[in-house]
Amino acid sequence: MWTKQDEVHWNALMEWEQQLVSNQSDEASGIEAQVNKLTAALPDDAASRLFGQLDQSAAWICSFLQKEPVLEGTKTRIMETARLFQEDIESIEQMRRLSIDQLHFICQQQSDKIRAAAAVQGALTGTGKTLPILADLLVITMLQIRTIQTTALSYGVDLRQPFEMEHTLHLLYTSLLPASLQADGWAKLITEVEEKVSYIDEESWGLNESMLQKPLIHAIKLASVRLLQPRKSSIPLLSMAVSAGVNYQTIKQTAILAEHYYQYRYLHDKKNRP
């Protein structure tokens, strides 16, 4: 049954969607312009190989994190929280019996933990030590994917379905788009929901130069970590704060996109259920 709270969340989704559309009129940022110049300088075959390798890497990370043993602890914690609201829940799919406010509470509880982990990783990177710096981009990508996966589980989505990995990757790619292009990515995600397909076509979802802006911001962050290191042997508080803040905001933005997407799926299904 469609409830008043469902309507409240649906209207909030529509307002957020309109904000994405209004962002399309924004001019390209300085970073975006620099990314476009860098990728334009690459030979076509080199760019094709680069994006192909990045695609494969993202798919491998997603597949690894989606394996049952890796997700089992997260699923257990999510269902334990769900049973506080409804004692007889025994599977992830049964969580869809809960209200959208209850699902939102569970989702926020899980995403807060990942944001905290991202901030800690950022702070470690901010110390300027070699290993955290080298691992930063890989770790933040893994945390982005983990955020999407825990959001899916929180909204009762069974990640064991093969096409759900496609949806995870599509959300990751959309999260990498600059603000001026996110409405286009969102439109493709919604088309998948409404037409009940797992992908539109490979070319429309592959990594491309427009998705390099945010990774470049992380590269700038890593460079600034080095520049902000104090000359004397003291704790580099400034670089730790900057790095932690960038990582936290990256995961926060991914979490917002992912929750809106899975809320849309939940509400669309409920609205169209006979």
- Do residues 171 and 261 lie in contact, with contact meaning Cβ atoms separated by under 8 Å? yes
Number of domains in the chain: 1
**Total-model pTM:** 0.89
Distance CA 146, CA 71 (A): 9
Whether residue 14 lies inside any domain: the answer is no
Distance CA 75, CA 149 (A): 10
Residue-level pLDDT at 199: 58
Q: What is the pLDDT along the chain (274 residues), one digit of tens a residue?
A: 888 999 999 999 999 999 998 887 655 555 566 666 666 666 667 666 777 788 888 888 988 888 878 788 899 999 999 999 999 999 999 999 999 999 999 999 999 999 999 999 989 988 888 888 888 889 999 999 999 999 999 999 988 887 888 899 999 999 988 888 889 899 999 988 888 776 555 556 666 666 777 777 777 777 777 676 666 656 778 888 888 998 999 999 999 999 999 999 999 998 887 6
Whether residue 4 lies inside any domain: the answer is no
Residue-level pLDDT at 227: 72
**Biggest distance spanned by C-alpha atoms of the chain:** 68
Distance CA 228, CA 225 (A): 5
Residue-level pLDDT at 55: 81
Residue-level pLDDT at 274: 62
Residue-level pLDDT at 116: 95
Whether residue 47 lies inside any domain: the answer is yes
Whether residue 100 lies inside any domain: the answer is yes
Whether residue 221 lies inside any domain: the answer is yes
Whether residue 2 lies inside any domain: the answer is no
Whether residue 110 lies inside any domain: the answer is yes
Residue 59's domain spans which residues? 30-271
Whether residue 226 lies inside any domain: the answer is yes
Comparing CA positions, the residue from 240, 87, 241, 99 lying closest to residue 156 is: 99
